[in-house]
Amino acid sequence: MFLDCSFVLPAAARATYAGVSVADLDGDGEFEFFVASRGAANRILKYQHGKFFDTAPPVVADARRDTLGAVAGDFDGDGREELYLLNGEPFSDRLFDCQPDGRWADLFDQPRYRQARNAHASQSAAVLDRRGRGRYSFLVASADHPLRLFELSSANTICDLAPALDLHHAQAGSGLVIGPISSDRPDIFCVNEGGPNLLYRNTGVGTFLEVAARHGLRDSAERSRGAMVLDANGDGRLDVCFGNRDGPHRLFVRESNCKFRNVATPAMALPSEVQNVVAADFDNDGFEELLFLNCGESNRLFRRSANPDGYWQLADPGTLDSWGLSSGGAAVADIDGDGRLELLVSNGDSGELPLQLFKWPEVGNAWLRVMPMTRFGAPARGAVVRLIAAGRTQIRAICSGSGYRCQMEPVAHFGLGRCDEVEQIQVTWPDDTTAVIDRPATNRTLVVLYPGS
C-alpha cells in the first residue's frame, strides 16, 4: 500500500492545482515535476538533498493565468524538450522554449508564431513524432473545438496540421494517449466527454485513419475522462484503460482479431467522479498497478494477480485513499533515483488544497529502467520498450501524454520481482527502428541512444 511522503514537498503548497507532468526542465539531466495551477503560480518541483524546492522562473510560474496542464517534447530538434502549457479562457496556450542563456521564451509571443496559438480552453495534450524523425508535434484537445496539431515546418513556421491530416474533429477531448494500439506505429487515442472516443491509426507515412468503431472503442454513450495504455493481460500487446464520469469505467484488451473487449471487473467498472487513470509498477513486482483517481470520493487501486488469467483485484491504497480531497492531476517518476516510483497527486477541483506525494514501501524487488533517446538526444516519447525476463515479456510505451492534462516521465520502468537477470531489452522508435540489448545489468537506468546517432 502507498505511504504518504508529502513531508518532502514545499511547505504551505496549497492552491487550486490541475495537471502534473515530468520532464528535465533545467537541462541538468534530472527530472522535475511541473504542476499547473489555476489562479496561482505554477510550480517546478526539483528534488535536492531529500526535499523538493520550487524553481519555477517568474515567466513560467505566471500566477495571472489559469494553467490546466502541460506536456513536454522536443519540438525543434535541438535535443531539449519544449514545454506546452494548457491555459483556460480567456488566455491562450503557451509554448516555452529554453534559450541558450537559460531564459524561457514563449514562442507564441513572437509575431511570426502568434497567429497559430490556441485561444480556446484546452482540455488535454500529448506529443507526437508522427513521421519518426525525432521532432515532436503538440496535439491539443479543447472543449467543443477541433483537435489541433502544432508542428514546426521546414520554413520555421508553426502550422496547425490537424485539418490537412483529418484530425480536426470537434470533440470535448479529455484524454490523449499515444502508442501502438491499432498499428505498430504511434496511434492516437482520444477519449471525449462530449461524444464518442476516437482512435487514429498511424498509416506509417505520417497520416492517420479513424478506426475507433472498427475496434469497438467508441463508447459513445459515456463521458470519458483520463486514459492510459498498458498490457492488461500479459500478452505482450498494449491495451486501453479509461474512466467514464458517472458511468462504468473500461479496461479494453486487444484480441487476435484486433477487436477490443471490455474486461473491467465489477469493482473496477463501478462509476465514480473519475479525474485520472494511472498505470505503473509501484511495488516492482513485475506487474503494473492501476489507479483511478476520483474527485471527492475514495481513490481506487487495482493489482493484477500473477496467475494466467491476470485477474484484477481491488487492493488497499493505504494513505492514497484521500476521501474528501479532489484528486485530479497525477504523474509518476523515480525522482530520487532509488528505483521506486514516486506518485505526485494534485488536489484542487474544489478549492485550494495541498499537493501529495506517495510511494510504495521498499520490499526488496529488483528493477530496471530504460530511457530511449531520439537522434537529437532528447527523450524518445512514443517509443516502445519490451523486456524479456523469467519467461515473460513486459511492454511499456514511453509516455507522450496520459490521463487528463498530465504526462509521465519519459522512462520505461520495469519491476522484476525477485528476478535479478534480464534476458533482453528491445527498443522500438516511432520510425520502427529497433535496438536490442542482451543481458543488461539490473537495478539501474539504461539510456539507449538512437542507432547511429
Q: Would you list the domain boundaries of the chain?
A: 3-448
> pLDDT, tens digit, for every residue of 162-221?
999 999 776 778 889 999 999 999 999 999 987 899 999 999 999 999 999 999 999 998
Under DSSP, is residue 111 helix (H, G, I), strand (E, B) or coil? helix
Percent of the chain with pLDDT over 70: 96
- pLDDT at position 308, please? 52
Out of 25-29, 246-250, 257-261, 422-426, least confident range:
257-261
pLDDT of residue 324 exceeding 60? no
- pLDDT at position 310, please? 61
Instruction: Categorize the per-residue pLDDT at 89 as very low, low, confident or very high, splitting at 50, 70 and 90.
Output: confident
Of 229, 234, 221, whose CA–CA distance to 309 is shortest? 234
- Between strands 3-4 and 51-54, the pairing is unpaired
Compute the mean pLDDT over every residue in the chain, rounded to the nearest whole number: 92
pLDDT of residue 329 exceeding 80? yes
Please name the fold of domain 3-448. Answer: Methylamine Dehydrogenase; Chain H (2.130.10)
| Beta carbons within 10 angstroms of residue 110's beta carbon | 12
Of 403, 405, 413, 452, whose CA–CA distance to 429 is shortest? 452
pLDDT of residue 82 exceeding 70? yes
Instruction: Categorize the per-residue pLDDT at 306 as very low, low, confident or very high, splitting at 50, 70 and 90.
Output: low
- pLDDT at position 12, please? 66
- pLDDT at position 414, please? 98
- pLDDT at position 203, please? 95
Q: Over the Cα atoms of the chain, what is R_g?
A: 20
Task: Give the single-character DSSP code of 113.
Answer: H
Q: Is the preceding omega at residue 90 within 30 degrees of 0, hence cis?
A: yes
What's the CA gap between 288 and 414, in Å, rounded? 9
pLDDT of residue 59 exceeding 80? yes
pTM: 0.96
Percent of the chain with pLDDT over 90: 76
- pLDDT at position 323, please? 55
- pLDDT at position 417, please? 96
- pLDDT at position 169, please? 78
* pLDDT (mean) for 72-79: 97
Instruction: Categorize the per-residue pLDDT at 116 as very low, low, confident or very high, splitting at 50, 70 and 90.
Output: confident
What's the CA gap between 443 and 305, in Å, rounded? 23
Instruction: Categorize the per-residue pLDDT at 257 as very low, low, confident or very high, splitting at 50, 70 and 90.
Output: confident
Under DSSP, is residue 40 helix (H, G, I), strand (E, B) or coil? coil
Of 180, 176, 224, 222, whose CA–CA distance to 201 is shortest? 180
Of 402, 397, 404, whose CA–CA distance to 379 is shortest? 397
> pLDDT, tens digit, for every residue of 337-368?
999 999 999 986 667 888 999 999 999 999 99
43: its cell numbers: 510550480
Q: Going by C-beta distance under 8 Å and a sequence separation of 6 or more, which residues neighbour residue 279?
A: 228, 229, 230, 241, 288, 289, 290, 291
